[in-house]
Structure 1
Amino acid sequence: MRSFLRILRWVALILLILTAAVLLTVWLLRWRGLILFSHEAAPEQWEVFGVDVSSYQGTVDWPVLAGQGVDFAFIKATEGSTLQDKAFADNWSGAQAAGVRPGAYHFLSYDSPGETQAENFISMVPVTDGAMPPVVDIEFYGPYLKTPPDKERVQAILDPLLAALEAHYGVKPILYVTYRSFYSYLNEAKYADYPIWCSSPTVFPLVPRWDFWQYSHSAQLDGYHGAQTRIDLNIFRGSQEEFESFGLR
């Protein structure tokens, strides 16, 4: 009998260890952005909804998107020091014409100076009354998924980029973050005044003082025809009245 109980205890211990190992592995893969869960978080009742788009959504029928309750759109403009999204100009003008408040975003590269990345963005995105602040998208890609750059390197690129954008547009840029990028590079006092747009498609955002929540990567709406059939959904953390004054110069 004692021998049997001893075996049961060992089996239970082994199962506990295996379960912990599986949960830790899933958490690490999610943290690194290598997996997404098919069941995404649904936001509570919010007043202001938006999308984010790039050339992957192809031709966008902005009045159709607006008719589905889209109040704002983050639109890809640039990436690094040279890449420019070919659909940006049409999306920027189309969103405004449809009454969708636009905001342009830049995908941060870890491979070129922040000064030249700012020049690339400024060459594409006009200073526009009523637009949302510019966005810098800080996440991981390619080899940096497994081996992220160190904080000093990232901030040496990011800080002059943010300074140049703020000087040109007259408002602090929004920082688009994942949990990993925020806690790796941005969770310190010098970034405390920057608005935060948090990507968290599985749970309520777990970063402080966020302003926008990207809560879905897998939505399908009417009104766009491109290589990507999915579209990201976002909410603003505040009322319609607060949104209308958010980020104005």
Structure 2
Amino acid sequence: MRSGARRLRRRSRRFVGRFLVVALLIGGAFAVVTLYRHGYIRPNNPSLQDYPVRGVDVSSFQGTIDWPQLVSAGTLGFAFIKATEGAHTHDARFLQNWTATRGLIARAPYHFFSFCSGGDEQAQNFLRFLPDTGELPAGVDIEFAGNCQHRPSYAVIREQLKIFLNDVESVTRRKPIIYVNRTSYARIVEGYFSGYPLWIREVITGPPVGSFPALTFWQYAGNGRVAGVGKLIDLDAFVGTRRDFERLLRLGHP
């Protein structure tokens, strides 16, 4: 009887110990996820020495931005500002953000490309909404998240994207920058749009230097907490030196 009771107590202690370990692991994982989602930790923290030119990309999601406060930190060199989406949608904060950043930092308008609208219609929507083309080449956002569900084949998407790119380049005189994540790059862009500068999202591992030809911008975090912005913001870095960045600013400007 005594031997059986001792075995039972040992089993109980082992069970409690294992339960506590599992609980601590689950609690720790939950804490890490919570801190990440609220912008208190992030996997990528590139050094200013390696990536001296930093930027952000914004849309109406961020609400009203205090741009002078955001820029006053001294490390912000550019901003991608959402202008349009698809064939008809305009970003509600674009004109406000565009005007507020004039003369403060280098700006690039960007368009969220719909897989279910024609490239020509989308280019017209984008170009007609711009007060000017900005200091950097325009961007086009290619991703599946938030896009239409009943989309055509990848071949048709590429065809319409090419029309959009050609139309925008003919007006701005600069090749647009293509924004991708690993999925949209592999399924739509890879092998079909050589010569276009790339802006890649990689917020967990990185930097993806060497994996993507023509890599020009790197979105290294999607949970940035910065002064002047009340919500989380995407953080970006130019892949190159300050001199390389200045050369990019001059492209297309006589």
TM range (shorter): 0.7 to 0.9
Do structure 1's residue 180 and structure 2's residue 183 form an aligned pair? Answer: yes
Sequence identity (%): 37
Residue from 161, 167, 176 that aligns with 1:158: 161
| Equivalent position of 1:58 in the other structure | 63
TM-score (norm: length of structure 2): 0.76
Alignment of 1:89-108 (within 5 A): 89-97=95-103, 99-108=104-113
8 Å CA contact 1:176–1:196 kept in 2: the answer is yes
Residue from 137, 140, 144 that aligns with 1:140: 144
8 Å CA contact 1:174–1:194 kept in 2: the answer is yes
TM-score (norm: length of structure 1): 0.77
8 Å CA contact 2:115–2:157 kept in 1: the answer is yes
For 1:191-243, what per-residue CA distance to the aligned partner results, in whole angstroms no more than 9, with x for missing partners? 11100000000111243331000000011111124xxx100000001111211
For 1:85-129, what per-residue CA distance to the aligned partner results, in whole angstroms no more than 9, with x for missing partners? 1111111121123x211101100001111100000000112334x
| Equivalent position of 1:242 in the other structure | 244
Q: CA RMSD in A?
A: 1.9
| Equivalent position of 1:195 in the other structure | 197
Unaligned runs of 5+ in 1: 1-37
For 1:152-191, what per-residue CA distance to the aligned partner results, in whole angstroms no more than 9, with x for missing partners? 1211220110010000100100000011111111111x41
Do structure 1's residue 111 and structure 2's residue 113 form an aligned pair? Answer: no
**Cα distance in 2 between the residues matched to 1:158 and 1:60:** 31
| Equivalent position of 1:88 in the other structure | 94
**Cα distance in 2 between the residues matched to 1:137 and 1:110:** 11
Number of residue-to-residue matches in the alignment: 205
Per mean C-alpha deviation after superposition, the further-off stretch among 88-97 and 176-185 is: 88-97
Unaligned runs of 5+ in 2: 1-40
**Cα distance in 1 between the residues matched to 2:146 and 2:228:** 31
Do structure 1's residue 47 and structure 2's residue 52 form an aligned pair? Answer: yes
Offset, 1:74: 0.3
Do structure 1's residue 120 and structure 2's residue 122 form an aligned pair? Answer: no
**Cα distance in 2 between the residues matched to 1:199 and 1:138:** 11
| Equivalent position of 1:19 in the other structure | none
